A and B are shown apart, each in its own frame.
Chain A
Amino acid sequence: GIQVEQSPPDLILQEGANSTLRCNFSDSVNNLQWFHQNPWGQLINLFYIPSGTKQNGRLSATTVATERYSLLYISSSQTTDSGVYFCAVGDSSNTGKLIFGQGTTLQVKP
């Protein structure tokens, strides 16, 4: 099955700094989503982005499907951005199943 690798595994930032999180996947995908898991365990949808670029406030994401990677950019980070960021991809099975990466744990210090 598809392998999903995220980097870095851990990231510590000062408030106000920018960061880039990466997601590599091993095969073509028909779905790619970025999630933020907050300290209460909730999985918050950030982007549905199987290809192209999207922006939402301080967050933006780019997926280059032909090269099998996606990037999540966080600008002017805030302490509330802390948590785990997951990339999840859907394969060609058409059942909607998502395969998650191991996540990037982000800590933003005041």
Chain B
Amino acid sequence: EPEVTQTPSHQVTQMGQEVILRCVPISNHLYFYWYRQILGQKVEFLVSFYNNEISEKSEIFDDQFSVERPDGSNFTLKIRSTKLEDSAMYFCASSDQAKGTIYFGEGSWLTVV
């Protein structure tokens, strides 16, 4: 079964450093998402991306965050200057339509020290 893949699985970074989390969505999917989950809490929506632009973003997704689809297969989340409170599991997801099943990757665990 096709799956969403994410790298790295775990990253430790110093506060203030830039981080890029990478994702390869399922190949025929058109909608891409990033979510995050702080330890012990629920999963929160960050951003949705369609047709090479952001279609919706949450209030969490401030100017420190950006997304990019640099080629036909990758979808990245960049955090410009990490803060301690950015420590979380970040999930990439994709779907072939806005109302269809959304498939999640295994997550990238980010620890900011």
Chain A residues proximal to chain B, CB less than 8 Å: 30-31, 33, 35, 40-43, 45, 48, 50, 86, 88, 90, 93-103
Contact of B45 among A31, A33, A97 (CB under 8 A): A97
With contacts A33-B101, A93-B56 known, is A102 near B45, CB below 8 A? no
Q: Can you spell out 12 A-B residue pairs with CB atoms less than 8 angstroms apart?
A: A31-B102, A41-B37, A41-B107, A45-B104, A90-B99, A95-B48, A96-B33, A96-B50, A96-B99, A97-B56, A100-B44, A102-B42
Contact of B43 with A43 in the complex, beta carbons under 8 Å = yes
B75 within 8 A of A: no
Contact of A86 with B42 in the complex, beta carbons under 8 Å = yes
Lowest 10 A-B CB distances belong to which pairs?
Answer: A95-B56, A48-B101, A43-B104, A96-B98, A95-B55, A100-B43, A95-B48, A96-B31, A100-B42, A94-B98
User: Chain B residues with Cβ under 8 A from A33's Cβ?
Assistant: 101-102
Besides the known contacts A48-B100, A101-B42, 14 further A-B residue pairs in the complex with CB atoms under 8 A apart: A31-B99, A41-B37, A41-B109, A43-B91, A48-B101, A95-B31, A95-B56, A96-B48, A96-B55, A96-B97, A97-B48, A99-B45, A100-B45, A102-B42
B76 within 8 A of A: no
Contact of B50 with A95 in the complex, beta carbons under 8 Å = yes
User: Chain A residues with Cβ under 8 A from B44's Cβ?
Assistant: 100
Contact of B106 among A35, A42, A45, A95 (CB under 8 A): A42
Q: Could you say which of A40, A95, A103 has the most chain B C-beta atoms within 10 Å of its C-beta? A: A95
B95 within 8 A of A: yes
How far apart are B78's CB and chain A's nearest CB, in angstroms?
A: 20
B112 within 8 A of A: no
User: Chain B residues with Cβ under 8 A from A30's Cβ?
Assistant: 99
| Complex Cα spacing A98 to B46, Å | 10
User: Chain A residues with Cβ under 8 A from B38's Cβ?
Assistant: none
| Complex Cα spacing A35 to B37, Å | 14
| Complex Cα spacing A55 to B43, Å | 25
